[in-house]
Structure 1
Amino acid sequence: MELIEAIHTRRSIRKYLDKPVSPEMIETIIKAAMAAPSAGNQQPWHFIVITDRTKLDAIPAFHPYSKMVLQAPAAILLCGDPDGKKWPTFWDQDLSAATQNMLLTARDLGLGTVWVGVFPEKDRMEGFRKLFAIPDNIHPFALIPIGWPDGQFEAVSRYRPELIHREAW
């Protein structure tokens, strides 16, 4: 698939087929995340791969917008670690770039994903900390449910020229 096609056909997929995602595909997605740019190449990320049905099913109890994990065969939780980094205030931008790489790579593989925001919502972050024994200095950032989509990918134009300013506002 061409990159432009992946960008324009990537959608938030919330319904998945009852079919597992291979460990190799998960690894490919995480490798793409780790190829993302980060401030000073500090790479302040950690990834928790979740395939345990009990843990996936527990997430909606503390995250009100995560019900799609009840169908997803897998999810990846991205976490930020700003401690000891040269640019500690940029970790959330770094993880945003990693997240986008994951979404596009999954699309290229034919998989569906949705970006489920966690940071900066304290109750969501605490729920993930408790469920996955995440240390207090690590920040749960985003959850990416992954699965084979129950539906089709379609390109939809979101281009809005009225939002473009040239040389000044």
Structure 2
Amino acid sequence: MKFKKQTLFSLAIAASVLASCSSKQTENTESNAALDNIMTRTSIRAYTADSISKENIETMLRAAMAAPSAGNKQPWRFVVIENRATLDSIGANFGSMKMASQAPLGIVVCGDLEATFPEEGRDYWIEDTSAAMENLLLAAHSIGLGAVWCGIYPMPDRVQAFSEMLSLPENIIPMGVAIIGHPQSAQEPKDKWNPEYVHYESWKKSGAKGF
């Protein structure tokens, strides 16, 4: 009986260790999946005619709103564009946004000046909405969509054009638009790693020793 109890105890310990290892492996796999999504994302400018489901649109918006923001102000606001005439107008009037003419979706990421800090901290909305935009792009990639970030702010003509097109109030500033669709073909991501862009402790001779 004593031997049986010891055996059962040993089996319980082994099961616990295996469960712990399995949990760690799962965590590592999930972590790698997140990094893979970041490293394989690339700007997609050619799309099929397939529409994008409401569920996928909400998934991207939820990811965008999960971004960090200064003081947790969350000044981001979004305008979802599916209207064919509006997308065609964007593509026709802005050369760098011509892909909008074949895309089924555009999401304009805006900043609410009344929802951010006053005075010196007012421009934090730019950083906050940029973080939201990146999350949106990563979410699009993770669900098999392709997207490209087209800048609006701080170009005065673009800000004015989008503000008028979308009937934005004065306190809402369009920061950028994500043009989104189902990719026509897969594209290889660019390896952008460059240790010469990295400085340690202060701005001096660059180079990432040990990388």
Query: TM-score surpassing 0.5?
Result: yes
Provide the residue aligned with 1:9 in structure 2: 40
Which of 179, 197, 202 is the equivalent residue of 1:163? Answer: 197
Which whole-Å CA distance do the structure 2 matches of 1:11 and 1:122 have between them? 27
Report whether the alignment pairs 1:130 with 2:164.
yes
Unaligned runs of 5+ in 1: none
Does the 8 Å CA contact 1:9/1:153 hold for their aligned counterparts? Answer: no
With the length of structure 2 as denominator, give the TM-score of the two structures: 0.77
SS of 1:43's equivalent in the other structure is coil
Provide the residue aligned with 2:129 in structure 1: 95
Provide the residue aligned with 2:183 in structure 1: 149
Greater RCO, 1 or 2 (C-alpha within 8 Å, sep 6+): 1
Unaligned runs of 5+ in 2: 1-29, 204-211
Following TM superposition, the consecutive aligned residue runs of length 4 or more in structure 1 with deviations greater than 3 angstroms are none
Q: Which has the higher helix share?
A: 2
How many correspondences in the alignment? 169
CA RMSD, 1 decimal: 1.3
Q: Kindly name which structure, 1 or 2, has the bigger radius of gyration based on alpha carbons.
A: 2
Report whether the alignment pairs 1:23 with 2:54.
yes
Amino acid at match of 1:168: S
Amino acid at match of 1:76: I
Query: Percent same amino acid at aligned positions?
Result: 44
Report whether the alignment pairs 1:119 with 2:150.
no
Cα pair distance change 1:138/1:156, threshold 3 Å: same
Which whole-Å CA distance do the structure 2 matches of 1:126 and 1:162 have between them? 38
With the length of structure 1 as denominator, give the TM-score of the two structures: 0.95
- The Cα shift of 1:60 comes to 3.0
Deviations 1:16-57 (A, max 9, x none): 011011011010000001010000000101100000001111
Which whole-Å CA distance do the structure 2 matches of 1:84 and 1:20 have between them? 33
Cα pair distance change 1:84/1:47, threshold 3 Å: closer
Amino acid at match of 2:168: I
- The Cα shift of 1:84 comes to 4.8
Report whether the alignment pairs 1:37 with 2:64.
no
